[in-house]
Chains A and B, each alone.
Chain A
Amino acid sequence: NAGVTQTPKFQVLKTGQSMTLQCAQDMNHNSMYWYRQDPGMGLRLIYYSASEGTTDKGEVPNGYNVSRLNKREFSLRLESAAPSQTSVYFCASTDDRTSGANVLTFGAGSRLTVL
C-alpha cells in the first residue's frame, strides 16, 4: 500500500534555479493538494486540484505552478526558487465526492532548501 509518494525527499537549490516536486497517489482519490510547512505556522495550502484537469490557488500560490498530469499525479514547480521557499512540502489527497469527513492522506514530505 504505497498511498501518497513524493519525490525527491531532499533537495538543495540555488536562488533562481527551477525544480519540480512530484507526487503520485494510488488510492483513486479525486482531489490532490500541495501544502508547505514552516516552523510555527502549521500547514498552508499552495494549490489544489479537485479533479483531473482542474487546478486552483490556495492560500500561498505565488512563485509556484502546478500540473495535474492525470488522476494519479500532481506536480509542483518552482520556476525561479527564492530563499523564502525554503520549507517542507507535503502532497496530500482525498476522495471528497462522498459525504462525510474528508480525511487527507499525506506523503512523507520533501525538504527543500534554497540558498
Chain B
Amino acid sequence: GDSVTQMEGPVTLSEEAFLTINCTYTATGYPSLFWYVQYPGEGLQLLLKATKADDKGSNKGFEATYRKETTSFHLEKGSVQVSDSAVYFCALSDRGTNAGKSTFGDGTTLTVKP
C-alpha cells in the first residue's frame, strides 16, 4: 500500500534559520502530494500541495517540489519565524475513487526560538 516517511523530529531552530523537512513516499499510482500544518490545539490545515511531477507548491514562504524520480516532496523555508512553530505532516492521496482518502506521515514537530 501507499506510505509516507517523514524526517523524524523534533526540530528546533533559531529565528531566521533555514528549514528543511524531508518527505519521501511510496505509491502504486500517481498521487497528489500535500503538506499540512497543525498549530497547537487546532486541527490540520493545508499548507501547500502539488499534483504532478516538477510542480512546486508554495504558501507563506514555504515551498516543496514534487520530485517523481526521487519520490520526494521536501518542505523548505528560507527564514523561519517563531509563529511557524507547529507540527508538519506530509501526505498523499490517490487520484482514483475515494481520492480524499489520504495517507499521512508521522508528523514533524518544529519549534522556533527567538
Contact = CB atoms under 8 A, between A and B. Distances in A.
Given A43-B104, A103-B34, 17 more contacts: A4-B43, A31-B100, A40-B106, A41-B106, A42-B105, A90-B43, A92-B43, A100-B32, A101-B32, A101-B34, A101-B51, A102-B93, A103-B49, A104-B100, A106-B44, A108-B41, A108-B42
Interface of B: 4, 32, 34, 36, 41-46, 49-51, 89, 93, 95, 97-102, 104-107
Contacts, number: 64
A74 interface: no
B101 A45 contact: yes
A107 B42 CA distance: 8
A109 B42 CA distance: 7
Nearest to A109: B43
A40 B100 CA distance: 23
A90 B44 contact: yes
Contacts of B46: 103-104
Contacts of A45: 101
Interface string A84-99: 0000001010101001
Contacts of B104: 42-43
A69 to B, nearest CB: 19
Given A33-B100, A104-B44, A43 B89 contact: yes
A27 interface: no
Contacts of A33: 100-101
Contact of B106 (A42, A50, A58, A99): A42
B18 to A, nearest CB: 25
Given A42-B105, A42-B107, A101-B49, A96 B43 contact: no
23 contacts: A31-B100, A40-B107, A42-B105, A42-B107, A43-B44, A43-B104, A48-B98, A50-B98, A58-B101, A92-B44, A94-B100, A100-B32, A101-B32, A101-B49, A101-B51, A102-B32, A102-B100, A103-B34, A103-B46, A104-B44, A104-B46, A107-B43, A108-B41
